Structure formats: C-alpha cells, structure tokens
Structure 1
Amino acid sequence: MRKLNWTDFDVLVVDDEVDNLDAFRFAFRKSFRLHYAGGADEALSMLAEVEPAVIVADQRMPHMSGIELLAEVKKRLPNCFAILLTAYADLEVLIAAVNSGSVDRYVQKPWDSKELTVILRQAIDTHATQVENARLREQLAQYTGYLERQQRDPLDFGQVVGGGAATQAVLARVEEVASTDSPVLIEGEAGLEKEVVARSIHVGSARDGRPFVSVTCAAFAEEALERELFGYARGTFEGAFQDRPGRVELAHGGTLYLHELAVLSPTAQARLLRLLTHGESERVGDTRASRANVRLVLSVTPTLAQAFAKQPLLPELASKLRVFPITLKPLRQRREDIRPLAEHFLGAYARRNARAATQMDAAALARLAAYDWPGNVRELENVVERAAILARGDIIGASQLSFQDPLDAAPVPAAAPAPAPAEGLNLGRKLHAIERGELVRALEKYGGNKAEVARVLGIHRTTLYYRLKKLGIDV
C-alpha cells in the first residue's frame, strides 16, 4: 500500500469545551486535516459535508455521550475509526463499547500529544486499509461472479456461436484487434451478440483475467451516467458523502465495455475523449486527473451515425470511435447460425434447470430457420427457453415454439400439433412484463448498482444477472 499523507484524511474532533478544542487545534493543526464540533448534534450535522476518516469524541457531553455519538457515526460510516477521550476510567462501560464496535480505541485524559499523534496515524492507517479492502472485496465479488457465469454459459464469455461466413468474418476481426489496446466500436441491430463479441475481444487480449466491466449507458439518467462512469468527489452533489470510484477505475487493468453510447452528454463525451486520447480520467467534481489503464470497447444500435442522428457527437470522439469498427449482421441475414445458436441455448437451459429437452425435431428447426427474427439473437434465446419450459419430453416440436409476433412467424407444418393456447402465452408475457418493470424500477432506484439490487431483493447476484439477461435488460 502506498505511503499515506496524513493531511489527505479528515479528522473530526468533538468536545463541548472550547478550551479542549483549542488545545487539540494547537497540538495537531499542522499534522492533520482537522474539523471541530462543539457537541454531538453539530458533529452529526457535519457528516453531510465531511466524511471523517477518524472521529475523536469526549465522553462527557450534554444531550449525548461520546460513546452514543460514536455508535451513531459508526452506523453511518462503518469505516470511520472512533476514538473516545475520557478522564473517567469506567472500565466496564469502555469494554462494552469496544466489544460492540462503537469505539475502536479510547485515550485517557490528559492526553500526551506525541502519543496521540501516533494513535491518530494508526487510526488513519486502519481506515485506509478498511476502505481499500472493501474495494478489493467488491472487485473479487465481481470477478467471482464473472467466473461462475463463465462456467455456466460460455456464450457470455467470448465464445461466439455460429459457423457461417458472417460470423467467421467477425471472429477474424476480433482476432486482428484483440492483442492491441485500440478502442473497438461494435455496430448492429438490437438483440445481437454485441457484448459477447466485446467479451471475446477481452478474453483474446493480454487483459484476460483482469476485470471486464460492462455498462449499459441507457440505464442511467444523464448526470448519473457521468458519475457512474467516472466517479465523483465528496460533496459534488447532495448525498455525496464520500469519494466514489467510477467504472473506469473499477476496470483498471482490464476492459470497459460501454453499450448504447447515444445517451452520452457533451461533457461525458469530452471525458470519454480525454480517456481515449490521453489515458486520463477525472472524477466529477474533482480537478485531479489520474492515469487510467483500461481498454475500451463500445457499441451502438444500429450504427454510429444513426445512433447520434438526433444529438451532436464530438467530431474528435467520432474519429476515435471509428478506429476499428466491427459490424454484426442481423440474424435474418445469417440463417446458417440459427441452428447452432438454438442448440446452444437449449443445452445451456437444460444444464441450468435440469430439464429433459435437449433436442429439436426437424419441424421445429425448419420453423426457426424460416422466421425473420426481428429481435435477433436475444429473441431466439427467449423462444428456445419458452419451448424448453413447454416441452414434455426430451425433444422439442414446432408446437412448443411461439414468437414475438405471430404474423411474423413461419407457418407450422401440417403434421405438427396445434400451437399452445394464446391465453397461456399472454399470461406469460404479462408476468414477464411485471417482473421486468420491477427490476427496471429497482435498478433506477439504486443507480444501476446490481449488488445492492440483489441484496434488497434477497437473491444471489448470479440469479439477478440471469434474470436481467433473460428479460432483455442490459445494465
């Protein structure tokens, strides 16, 4: 860990006696970045503007004792190191406070300035270590989820399925660019394997094994998106109680995939241009730029020109984005990929859910091949999953297939059984719509934080990722 600069961290000192605050100011004003409060109420109100690394509180204060204050601060800022100053050696109370986690350390008055300097430095060390460990735990959780999902469904992790000429051409482009750090722009209709291609670029690069961070820009409001990507400094807006790294920083050493760029504001475009041009990132509300070791893969629907038809795109950014474009053809123009994709989705669903159906009969395959797939690969996956649910044996027939729009679907061969009742399909669509709406609202409420959404909903993060993908929610 880098050597700490003690004055980079805030220390909040709370005492109802002005003389004691003055003594603290005189002893430590040159050694630490100090803030002062004349009581517990003032200290708690200051937390809206200052997030201290360390809080030092006197035990004997009116209205709220030091222990009670530190307990409340710990609830709001778990990583804040709490020091209690006391002239009263009530050991039972102190031991109970330390054991409860409300107090990290106590110092008896009168304190010695040299001794307290060492204690404050140790407290800042502890705080910085806890913050760094929390960041590393989050990265580890993301990477663990990455590995779990990779084992469950290889299609999500760079294994592009399909042997047709169009797919092979895409794979050739991926192979050409993967070993470089050049930005890549992926263009194509909605529902295509843009993220799969982005992951394949990551897996084929020297950055494989490092974070792959995916962001669907359209899932965030304009201001929230800029903060999500680049992070923000404490106090930048109401509720910004602490510095927060953005996705650019979380992707350090790896690949950042940005989907649906057309919602980027001019200021966010300027930040992205700086990242692409100079390899620098600056948190919102901060003036200090930091080096960003990250490879960018970006995608738009359907093309860069069409995506930005209704809003301006910085010419310099447009030039950077066009360095190495990869265009994905719609599924209707590469029908040779329909069968291998369908078989892959069926096999993946069977493994996840222990379902018996692992094959499709000739009539079902013919119907899939004849359909135009307006929803592309995502629609194909949904159709296959519905068919697997409806199947009663180990082979799926044409009668189990249902499409987005019955008018667009190919006719069922005469020998095939009748389609499933429309009422059941309509109910399924309604249930999917309800679930999708609830998930979108939860994501909006928590700023796209999937870990927090999973926690609130009481489900595992990998389950949430699966449901988001199943319902076509890209975040």
Structure 2
Amino acid sequence: MLQKVLLVEDSTSLAILYKQYVKNEPYEFFHVTTGEEAKNFIVKNPPQLIILDLKLPDISGKEILQWIRDQKIPTAVIIATAHGTIDIAVTLIQNGANDFLEKPIQADRLKTSIKNHLKNNKLEMLVEDIQNTFNYKKYQGFIGSCLPMQAVYKIIDAVAPTNANVFISGESGTGKEVCAEAIHYKSQRYNKPFVAINCGAIPRDLMESEIFGHVKGAFTGATTDRKGAAMQANGGTLFLDELCEMELEMQKKLLRFLQTGRFTPLGGSKEISTDLRIICATNRDPLTELNEKRFREDLYYRVNVVPIKMPPLRERDTDIIDIARFFLKKYAKEDNKKFRAIKRNVELKLCHYSWPGNVRQLQNIIRNIVVLHNDTHVLMEHLPEPLNKLTSSTKVSEKPQEKQNNVTPIKPPANLDPPLHTAATPNIENDDTKTINTNLIRPMADIEREVIENAIDYCEGNVLNAAVLLELSPSTLYRKKQIWDTYEESD
C-alpha cells in the first residue's frame, strides 16, 4: 500500500506546482485548502506525512499542529513557511513539528524532504511493532514475549478458528498442553469440553477403552457402559499427548476415527459419530519414530496438518526471568511468604542454565525456594541442586556442547607461540602450568554489551542506525536491551 502525503495549502497555484514536482514519486499526494478540511481528511484517512502551511484562512497552522499532537496521530509534520516566519517555524519544531521548508519550495528540496520523512515514519512504525512484540508478556496461559514464542502465538491465532489438525512437538515441560488449551479456548469450541489423554501414562490394554469407551461385559471388570474421551469431548477438543507412545494397532484405529469421525466402543457393535477436534503432541522426534517403524506414516500425515514446535526454555531469553517472577509471586501469595523479587546474580544464573526439564523444572525450583526459605529476595544460597553447583558463566546441558553440535574441538599446535599480551606473565616452576593474567579476561557478554552500547551512543541513541552499523537486525538489539533493562530494574 502506498504511503500518503497531505499538503495543507490555501494557494491553489502553489499546490498545482508542488503536485507537478512529485507526480512520478512512489506515494499518494493529496491537497486541501483549509484547516477544517485537513482535520476531516486526517481523521478519515490518516496520512504518513503532512506539509502544513502556517497561514490558513480558517485555522492557523500552529493550532492544527497542536491538534495533531493532542490527538496522538502518528504522522510527521513539515511546516511550510515564508522567510519572515522562520523563527516561528523553529519554535514549532520545538513544539512537535518534524521539519520546515522555506517558501518558495524547490522541487529537489521538496522531494528529498518527503522521501526522508516517509522513510523515518516507516522505521518508527517498525520499531513500535518490535516494542509491542516485546511487551507481549502473557498469552492464553503462556508467559513470555521472546521471538520463538511470538511465532507460536501467531500460529495459534491462525489455526484456532479452523478445524485443521495440529501436531505439537517439543521437549517435556515446554508447554504442549498449554498450547493445545490455547488453541481450544481461542476457537469456536471454547465453551465445549477440553479433554486431555496422556498416551504414555495409560496401559496399552486400556488405551482403546480410555479413548473410545466400552460396553458392559467388554472385559473383566467392565460392569457398566463407560463413555470414552471421544464422547466426553464431543463438540469440543480431544488432546492426545505423547502420541508416539501409542502402539501401532491402536494407531490404526485412531487413524480410521480421524478419517470418518466414527468409532465403535470396545465390545460394542454400533458405530457412534462425534463432532470434535483432535490435537496431538509428542516429546519425541516424529521422523525418527517413522524411520524406526514405531509411528504409522499415514497417521503422521493425517495429524501433522499444522505443526507447532515448542521452543525449549533455554532458547527463550528473558522469558526465563518473567516465568520465574510469575511463579515466585504466585507461590509467595499461596504460602503467605515475603518473597517479592529475584536478585540480579540469581537471574543471571537462571538465564545461563540449560533447563533440561524446561518450564516444569523452573516451576519446581521456584516452588522449592518459596517453601524452604523466608526472605524478600531470592538469593544465591536459596538455589537447590543442580543450580547451586554451577558457575553462572557456564551453561550446562545434558550433553557436551561439542557433541550436540557434532563439532570436534580443534587443539592448537604444540609449537604455537603464546599471545603477545601474555609474554610478560610470570611462569610457575612447573612447566605444565602457566599463570594466567585474569585481568585480561572478560566475559563475552560484557564485551558484547559494550560494543552495542558504544554503537548506539555513536548513533545518538538511534537503535536502527546502530543495528545497521553492527550488521544486526533491530529486533536483536531491542531484545538485548530488554535483557539489560530487566536486570537493572531488578537491582
């Protein structure tokens, strides 16, 4: 969609001239002659840029500018002024105008000014979108605003109103059931049942009865008819967690149910129809399960219409802190404890841990702290295992990082000369041990922050320009600034 420029000018001849100047430019150029016409135009169709004459027949340009700023209309305003009123124009810039053009306006000056201000307006809108994204702290049971979770939220918003099958994958504790509930409660079925079945927690010989129900006498102990989850969720949503744990024969029956919408209770002879949506999830790699013949290929393609990959907690940046604070306040209130904040060094340790148990593990650790301690702030000595055995600068994972990335560390040649800055470092008599000047070593995170802040200072606070200089995306800089600001606020 083309951007819009509005010229507010009572001189028709000048307006015709200016239109001629910009007739080949990639934006729409509109003209009104009075202040009231300008207000009506702006309200109905807000432009990205307004070129505003100071002297209008009904309302002064100064009043129009004040009205624009009072209404918080997101548009740039250029004051068009004659030579004798330049001082007034400068004053108006201090009061909210973006620039001024001296009459008579030259063609090149007009085109360049419009181009620059439209570009700035577009960048400011991008910044606002990014900031709005990062302010998105809560969503349908989720806590967090990191980019991976934003992608999840967008898929949920898109798929919820439909009946498409959804297949959620992710490590244990990442919130797969929360995701399924979010889809349900944002759908048209929100006022109908949401029924969850954990396929890995039900004995295989009871799985069919659990999902499809059974009739009296179907097996020993079946003394009455029983409705299964498929009937309990009628009209709503059936969530099948850990689908890859289901045995192949049961997968075959589930596939037929998905294809026809009909099933027969265990021991019964009459088919039953239901109207429900099925959402499936797994903490395994579905493709690996396919290759190992533990998961039916036809079922996979039936349920995997819209895949959602839940990011592990270690990839969610400052969401870790937001989630920890949420659980801290929740459990402190439940248990009548005084906890109200987390110390910065503790937050750093939380952010540098790999969280193999994901959100569930973080929740349990915060619960442990609240139950066993009584303080106003979470301190380092409050942390239980394994966090109390880790250094804050080391990120621990279930497997060595080199193995996870399939990278073999490269050993330097034995005859490699030492770096010049260590030449004056005294050696210990033992040839196998060298004294390291630790003053020369700084955490990489500190160096990164210094470089980014220097770039922003050099660009006079303009984060977008700093991102260009650093060859980074603006969202990366805003995310890192948010992390630093979060830590400083907690201090």
TM normalised by structure 1 equals 0.51
Distance 1:186 1:392 in 2: 39
Which of residues 365, 370, 373 in structure 2 aligns to 1:391? 373
* SS of equivalent residue, structure 2 residue 281: strand
Question: 2:252 aligns to what?
Answer: 270
2:323 aligned partner, one-letter code: L
Distance 2:318 2:257 in 1: 39
* SS of equivalent residue, structure 2 residue 167: strand
Which of residues 359, 372, 376 in structure 1 aligns to 2:354? 372
**How far 1:312 sits from its partner (Å)?**
3.1
2:397 matches 1:402: no
Question: 1:207 aligns to what?
Answer: 189
Which of residues 247, 251, 254 in structure 1 aligns to 2:236? 254
Distance 2:248 2:179 in 1: 27
**How far 1:363 sits from its partner (Å)?**
1.5
Question: 2:276 aligns to what?
Answer: 294
TM normalised by structure 2 equals 0.50
Deviations 1:216-272 (A, max 9, x none): 111111011221111112111111111111011111111111111122122321221
CA contact (8 A) 2:290 2:296 kept: no
CA contact (8 A) 1:156 1:196 kept: no
> What are the residue-to-residue correspondences of 1:434-453 with 2, within 5 Å?
none
1:269 aligned partner, one-letter code: Q
Distance 2:372 2:342 in 1: 13
Question: 1:219 aligns to what?
Answer: 201
In the alignment, structure 2 segments of 5+ residues that lack a partner are: 1-136, 395-491
CA contact (8 A) 1:222 1:263 kept: no
2:262 aligned partner, one-letter code: E
Which of residues 159, 171, 174 in structure 2 aligns to 1:189? 171
* SS of equivalent residue, structure 2 residue 256: helix
Deviations 1:438-471 (A, max 9, x none): xxxxxxxxxxxxxxxxxxxxxxxxxxxxxxxxxx
How many residues are matched? 258
Distance 1:274 1:409 in 2: 53
> What are the residue-to-residue correspondences of 1:162-173 with 2, within 5 Å?
162-173=144-155
* SS of equivalent residue, structure 2 residue 299: helix
1:286 aligned partner, one-letter code: G
2:158 matches 1:176: yes
Question: 2:335 aligns to what?
Answer: 353
Distance 1:409 1:212 in 2: 43
Question: 1:417 aligns to what?
Answer: none
In the alignment, structure 1 segments of 5+ residues that lack a partner are: 1-154, 413-475
**How far 1:394 sits from its partner (Å)?**
1.9
* SS of equivalent residue, structure 2 residue 142: coil
* SS of equivalent residue, structure 1 residue 170: helix
> What are the residue-to-residue correspondences of 1:81-100 with 2, within 5 Å?
none
Deviations 1:151-187 (A, max 9, x none): xxxx999321100000100000100100111111100
Instruction: Quickly say closer, same or farther: Cα 1:302–1:312, change in 2 above 3 A.
Output: closer
CA contact (8 A) 1:157 1:196 kept: no
Distance 1:408 1:333 in 2: 19
**How far 1:408 sits from its partner (Å)?**
5.5
Distance 2:259 2:327 in 1: 40
**How far 1:404 sits from its partner (Å)?**
4.0
2:298 matches 1:316: yes
**How far 1:396 sits from its partner (Å)?**
1.2
Deviations 1:289-328 (A, max 9, x none): 1111111111101322235554432222111121110001
Instruction: Quickly say closer, same or farther: Cα 1:361–1:318, change in 2 above 3 A.
Output: same
> What are the residue-to-residue correspondences of 1:416-431 with 2, within 5 Å?
none
Deviations 1:182-235 (A, max 9, x none): 111100111111111111101111111211111111111101122111111211
Deviations 1:29-69 (A, max 9, x none): xxxxxxxxxxxxxxxxxxxxxxxxxxxxxxxxxxxxxxxxx
2:220 matches 1:238: yes
Instruction: Quickly say closer, same or farther: Cα 1:297–1:283, change in 2 above 3 A.
Output: same
Rg (Cα) greater in structure: 2
